[in-house]
Amino acid sequence: MRLEGKVAIVTGAGGAGVGGLGVVYARALASEGAAVVVSDIDGEAAVRTAESIASTGAQAIGVRCDVTSDEDIKAMVKTSGDAFGGVDILVNNAGLARGKWSEALILSADEWMEILAVNTVAPIMCAKACAESMRGRGGGVIVNQSSNGALIDAGAYTVSKLALNGVTKVLADEFSSDNIRVNGIAPGVMTAKLPEDQVQRLLARQTIRRPGQPEDLVGLLLYLCSDDSSFMNGQTVVIDGGMARITK
Ligand SMILES: NC(=O)c1ccc[n+]([C@@H]2O[C@H](COP(=O)([O-])OP(=O)(O)OC[C@H]3O[C@@H](n4cnc5c(N)ncnc54)[C@H](O)[C@@H]3O)[C@@H](O)[C@H]2O)c1
């Protein structure tokens, strides 16, 4: 129960998408004792996830939040305050990935702005919105969900996540006097729902030749969210079965 008494917000944790990493993160934080605000652009999915966590006896509430909307972000932080008294941990997990987002030149300017808005700028806005409450509670932790795709060419997605790694460094500096630490997780591809031939191609590029599971990320998440990592700031840790040691 390393996070007993803490309040955590996880964005993009409805579980309506393909990877469902936010759901696993929200469950893990709750299982360590945190009260969790499960947020997602799909409000019904967020509420469903929160209800399933609450059914285990943990504290959780679901809220609809489009992370590109300042109003939604404000409302999400207010919900956290009203329900649980504030916020100590923010996990910026919401993101656009795969499909056209792995392309570059075929994307329009509007599409580029869309992926940068969700993957790169929204984490800054959510951090800003949570910072006041964190300061009032003596500090906090922010975890940005990056990707090993920041290091391996995947079009606009790579640009957005590489820039997010920069955001992690900059925010760590900006919040340095507030006792708010900012670090990142850069997972490899979680292959559970991919076609078998794609899985085999990916495994051939890893040194650890088994499919990655969302649960492989939980130890790192809890480390970054707890005082165990109290001397760590501004870092993005790659956890991908050894794939990104080859940068192409
Ligand atoms: N699954 C993987 O293999 C993998 C690997 C590396 C990094 N990641 C990163 O992990 C994060 C979660 O990915 P996932 O695979 O679990 O995907 P997912 O599609 O299951 O989850 C993403 C969630 O974000 C939500 N979302 C999308 N746009 C939003 C917005 N504007 N506001 C709020 N919520 C929004 C979606 O509704 C969805 O529930 C992403 O940032 C992704 O880039 C995933």
| CATH number belonging to domain 7-239 | 3.40.50.720
The DSSP code for 61 is E
**Predicted pLDDT of residue 18:** 75
Question: Tens digit of pLDDT per residue, the chain (248 long)?
Answer: 999 999 999 999 998 777 899 999 999 999 999 999 999 999 999 999 999 999 999 999 999 999 999 999 999 999 999 999 999 999 999 999 999 999 999 999 999 999 999 999 999 999 999 999 999 999 999 999 999 999 998 999 999 999 999 999 999 999 999 999 999 999 999 877 788 998 999 899 999 999 999 999 999 999 999 999 999 999 999 999 999 986 55
Of 23, 119, 126, 147, the residue with max ligand 1 atoms within 8 A of its CB, to mutate for a pocket test, comes to 147
- Phi, psi values for residue 169, rounded to 5°: -65, -45
**Predicted pLDDT of residue 247:** 57
Q: Which two tokens stand for residue 212?
A: 């990655």
- Residue 157: active-site member: yes
**Predicted pLDDT of residue 246:** 64
Ligand 1 atom with least separation from CA of 119: 41
**Predicted pLDDT of residue 193:** 75
**Predicted pLDDT of residue 197:** 93
Rounded Cα distance between 103 and 108, Å, is 11
Of 40, 185, 218, the residue with max ligand 1 atoms within 8 A of its CB, to mutate for a pocket test, comes to 40
Give the pairing of strands 180-187 and 60-64. unpaired
> Is 247:205 a contact under the CB 8 Å cutoff?
no
Q: Whose CA is nearest to atom 1 of ligand 1?
A: 19
**Predicted pLDDT of residue 16:** 76
Cα distance between the two ends of the chain? 40
Burial class (CB in 10 A: 0-12, 13-18, 19+), 185: buried
**pTM for this entry:** 0.98
Domains in the chain: boundaries? 7-239
